[in-house]
Amino acid sequence: MSLADQARGDLKLTGLHKRYPNGFVAVESLDLVIPQGSFFALLGPSGCGKTTTLRMVAGLEEATKGTIHIGDQDITDAKPYKRPVNTVFQNYALFPHLTIAENVAFGPKRRGAKDPAQEVKEILALTELTEQANKKPTQLSGGQQQRVALARAIINRPDVLLLDEPLGALDLKLRRAMQIELKRIQEEVGLTFVHVTHDQEEAMTMADTVAVMNKGRIEQMGAPYDLYTNPQTTFVANFLGRSNLIKGTVVGREGSGADAVVKVDMHGTIATIKASKVHTDSDHGWVGIRPEKVLIQPEGQAIDAPGAALSGAVVVDASYIGVSTDYTLRMPWGQEITCFEQNTGRRGGLIPVGTKVDVSWRPEFAFLLDSAQDAEAGLEED
Amino acid sequence: MEALQRVFGKNAAYLLIGPAAIWLAVFFLFPMLSLLTTSLSDPATGSPINGYTLTWRVDNYVEALGEYWPYMMRSLLYAGIATLGCLVLGYVLAYAIAFKAGRWKTVMLVLVIAPFFTSFLVRTLSWKLILADNGFIVNTLQTLHILGEDGRLLATPFAVIMGLTYNFLPFMILPLYTSLEKIDPKLNEAAADLYASPWQRFTKVIWPLSLPGVVGGTLLTFIPATGDYINASLLGSPNTQMVGNKIQQLFTTAGDYPHASALSVILMVLIVAMVLFYVRRAGTEELL
């Protein structure tokens, strides 16, 4: 009986560690449980260890330390062709000498299926490739090749399907369409998907749970909404979307339970932050606020926010993007912060560059991060 | 192309293939016609010095085939075994260079073609010394009782086939390497991921994708090996003569050009027929 015939279960990585012979540690003592049937995304910049983690699960890379389990089964040392795991490779790695149908039948045939024609037909229908069945991979478009790579893997009904930047080679429009497609297929087949990507939007669109990886470790893990609204490190705050980080000093803690708040002095203005969004014990921290949560109004006009307003900011740049306008503001202490404003039409035009504005936000959207962390961490170098 | 048309007018394409056409006419078509006419001339009325006249004597072919067919068969057999030997040895080496050599790739490729830096003849003669009756190899094999007291290697079919294998090995390795080197190593990983054992990865992915190199390499080995006479004459005996030796003897010793030509044409037609059949079977027509 092959491994693949046995009961499924959660994918469990325990103390998984990868050190290359040249001394580079790609993955550092990773502990992770990915529940059966979930759509899980490993998100991080290139070189963060996400692909190495994936390759260790696939058996294409040997773990230096640690174990990999699916359910109760230890697959750490199993050969790649004996694991109930399949991979959708980054550049698809389709067999150029085989037709689409033969590519898809490759896995079932190796596992001894005499005539997988019926199964192949079903999978090709699911991935909308029926008409391409007898073509060769080079005759297909990028999006179609991507679906072949997916069909070739899911026909085996693996316990875990690994996707290594599967949409990386597609153009933006096709990528968005395939994201929805992938999500639909995952829901239809109900397999555990582990998706590796550096595209935060892709990870958030598709995954139930996103783990943000940096330098071989998981920085933070959770549902996309929680990660975005309550980042715990400057890396996550910057890598997942954008954040304004303003230096502040804790001046008091008030309330208890769900109402507990921390008062922070930012260059003379007191900001209130919910205790559940405070991720530092020290007295100094970064007050974080997402650009679309920043509200601005020309000096003297009322702002729709209950908290204190920072005055004396000047608009130094306004980029009109159609759906929104991207303002850069210089604060009185010299720092530049960003504000995205939806173009609802209420304002009746843009705020001209040079205008003095008041700045505020709703207190529940702010978060406080450790000041020892680099405020630039996770910013993509262009 | 437009610029060329402006200079040469409408017939630019014909002008461009001109040099190649002239080259083919002088170095291929003309000698070929000469060979064909000689093969159909009467050997009794002409001579190598006075030339031959075309008399459409088809009997040359009947006689050549009747007399020399065993040599033809021996040539095909020896060349076939040598080609197989080259394929096995060459595949292993080409695979290693393509996938395992790392930074030694270039060095290894240079080593493969290094033998061409010395003459084919000298290298074949040196095998004569290596395989000699009192040489190190024969002595060792005799000590180990693999060869009998008066057993020998030189002047045996083994020596001839070994010589052919040795001399044509680079012609097998280079096309194999070119084919193997083009295979994306990710395909091997994909096959492993899709439950293929190492052996299945070879038979289902690597081997089929290397077929153009296999066909190219076997043709480049088999064709010249079939017509070769140096190995048989230096390393063999009268009992291991190949068709090439007979053609050579007919031309130079016997001065019988018509029969020599007829035998050459038969060999050529036979090889072309076998190559066509082989390439069709392998499904690699695009090589032709």
Domains present along chain B, CATH in parentheses: 60-287 (1.10.3720.10)
What pLDDT, on a 0 to 100 scale, did the predictor assign at position B232?
95
Residue (of A238, A206, A249) closest to A371 by Cα position: A249
Residue (of A328, A308, A310) closest to A318 by Cα position: A328
pLDDT band at A173 (very low <50, low <70, confident <90, very high): confident
Which residues in A have their CB inside 8 Å of a CB on B?
Answer: 58-60, 79-82, 85-87, 89, 91, 93-97, 106-107, 110-111, 152-153, 156
Q: Select the more confidently predicted residue: B32 or B284.
A: B32
Task: Write out the two tokens for A9.
Answer: 């279960």
Q: How many CB pairs under 8 A join A and B?
A: 58
B55: CB partners within 8 A, 6+ apart: B40, B41, B42, B45
Nearest CA in chain B to A158: B194
Lowest model confidence (mean pLDDT) among A63-72, A76-85, A294-303, B230-239: A294-303
For chain A, domains (ranges, CATH) are 3-229 (3.40.50.300), 242-370 (2.40.50.100)
CB-CB: which of B195, B196, B209 is closest to A97? B209
CB-CB: which of B187, B192, B208 is closest to A81? B192
Tens digit of pLDDT for each residue in B169-201? Answer: 999 999 999 999 999 999 999 999 999 999 999
What pLDDT, on a 0 to 100 scale, did the predictor assign at position A381?
54
Site from B189, B195, B199 to mutate, A interface, most A CB atoms within 10 angstroms: B195
Q: What average pLDDT does this structure show over B131-150?
A: 88
Computed on alpha carbons and rounded to an integer, the radius of gyration of chain B in Å comes to 24
User: Does residue B283 register a pLDDT over 80?
Assistant: no
Q: How far is B217 from chain A (nearest CA, A)?
A: 20
Nearest CA in chain B to A94: B187
Contacts of A61 in chain B (CB under 8 A): none
What pLDDT, on a 0 to 100 scale, did the predictor assign at position B284?
62
User: Does residue B287 register a pLDDT over 90?
Assistant: no
Q: What are phi and psi of A267, to 5 degrees?
A: 45, 40
For every residue of chain A, which 3-state class applies, written as one string?
CCHHHCCCCCEEEEEEEEECCCCCEEEEEEEEEECCCCEEEEECCCCCCHHHHHHHHHCCCCCCEEEEEECCEECCCCCHHHCCEEEECCCCCCCCCCCHHHHHHHHHHHCCCCCCHHHHHHHHHHCCCHHHCCCCHHHCCHHHHHHHHHHHHHCCCCCEEEEECCCCCCCHHHHHHHHHHHHHHHHHHCCEEEEEECCHHHHHHHCCEEEEEECCEEEEEECHHHHHHCCCCHHHHHHCCCCEEEEEEEEEEECCHHHCEEEEEECCEEEEEEHHHECCCCCEEEEEECHHHCEEEECCCCCCCCCCCEEEEEEEEEEECCCEEEEEEECCCCCEEEEEEECCCCCCCCCCCCCEEEEECCHHHCEEEECCCCCCCCCCCC
* ipTM score for this prediction: 0.84
Nearest CA in chain A to B210: A97
Q: How far is A75 from chain B (nearest CA, A)?
A: 14
Any idea what DSSP says for residue B147?
S
CB contact under 8 A, A93 and B196: no
CB contact under 8 A, B195 and A91: no
CB contact under 8 A, B194 and A60: no
CB contact under 8 A, B184 and A156: no
A232: CB partners within 8 A, 6+ apart: A219, A220, A279, A369
Q: What are phi and psi of B75, to 5 degrees?
A: -60, -45
Count of C-beta atoms within a 10 Å radius of residue A253: 12
